[in-house]
Amino acid sequence: MAIAIICSGGDAPGMNPAIKKFVDYVYKCEQTPYFIYDGLEGMIDGNIKKADHKDVAGIIHIGGAIIGSSRSKRFYEYKYRKQAFENLQKHDINKIIVLGGDGSYNAFGVFAKEFPISFIGIPTTIDNDIYGTEYCLGVDTALNVIRSAVDSIRDTASTFKRAFVVETMGRECGYLAAVTAISSGAEVCVIPEMNFNKKVAKHYLKKDIAEGRRYILAIVAEGTKATTDIKEWLENEIGMETRISVLGHIQRGGNPTVHDRMMAFEFVVRGVALLLKEEMIHQAIGYQNGDFVSMEISVVNSGKYSVPDNILKDLHYLD
């Protein structure tokens, strides 16, 4: 049986450990693994090749994805989805492991309604914003990359008595910013999920400065589009010289942490096992309450992720 793996959408640390485990485990199951290179674009173009152990040797510690990834506007058109299916047929592939986020899940949800394709989605995004799972591959590494950057920024902020506004990724989800703010002891956190109470924050920050505080650390989620506003507020209302640091794509790179590697292994093994067990399946694997679960892709695609209440309650100066 031919089983393929594809990375779709944004890259995330943990993809390469998942790819390695995929090849090793599929061979262990006496099946044939295939790589779909460069995501949906590669599937449309027929960039599909049989994988071997040598292809995944020495990749477990590397960020990114050795098989590439992409976002595809062409995949919105039926003729290109049909072309992608025909390319899969050339290799007798009708089962696919999908490493991606909600955009990838939606794309394969449409694809599987039109053609006889089985797939298992593995939540892979640093945004950690997929419904039905508390954990996505890549988020632990991203949080540690952010932690390292924020710790360094704090050093220079305290030296020069400055405020720093650090912008994190996450699209419309504030998970990265919220966890970073809590774990770094930031004085300010601004995320899409909650309103930032400037009046309350100003009261406490002014009090802290009067008592000797030398710096302020503000974590802002990119989805709020409030980075510049918070900088101006800190300068004009709080009275502290302020700098902006947009972390950008460094959050997507770096050596996958041990946790991301181990989670990648578990996700892949369970995904392949489901594909081998069922003749036709369209599901995603999630992680809930310390255990792995599987859900119909239609359920995942119709839901909306929300940052856990226990994390929101730990944030300061919020309505």
pLDDT of 161: 87
- pLDDT above 90 as % of the chain: 92
User: Can you list the domains of the chain with their CATH numbers?
Assistant: 2-138+256-304 (3.40.50.450), 139-252 (3.40.50.460)
Measured distance CA(251)–CA(292) in Å, rounded: 26
Measured distance CA(157)–CA(259) in Å, rounded: 31
Cα 26 to Cα 3, 32, 51, 272: the distances in Å are: 8, 6, 10, 7
Please tell me which residue in 11, 38, 127, 260 is annotated as part of the active site.
127
Q: What is the mean pLDDT of the chain?
A: 95
| Average pLDDT rounded to a whole number, residues 94-114 | 96
In terms of Cα–Cα distance, which of 133, 123, 121, 135 is closest to 5? 121
pLDDT of 314: 85
pLDDT of 317: 46
pLDDT of 316: 59
Measured distance CA(292)–CA(266) in Å, rounded: 9
pLDDT of 313: 87
| Average pLDDT rounded to a whole number, residues 285-295 | 95
The predicted-structure confidence for 294-316, as pLDDT tens digits, reads as follows 999 999 999 999 999 989 988 85
Whether 127 sits among the annotated catalytic residues: the reply is yes
E-only strand ranges, the chain: 2-7, 32-36, 48-50, 93-100, 118-123, 163-168, 188-190, 216-221, 242-246, 282-288, 291-296
| Average pLDDT rounded to a whole number, residues 49-74 | 96
Whether residue 318 is predicted with pLDDT greater than 80 in this model: the reply is no
Phi and psi at 35, nearest 5°, equal -105, 135
Measured distance CA(244)–CA(248) in Å, rounded: 12
Longest Cα–Cα distance of the chain, Å, equals: 71
The predicted-structure confidence for 28-51, as pLDDT tens digits, reads as follows 999 999 999 999 999 999 999 999
Whether residue 319 is predicted with pLDDT greater than 80 in this model: the reply is no
Give me the helix-helix angle, 258-277 and 15-28, nearest 10°: 40
E-only strand ranges, 199-238: 216-221
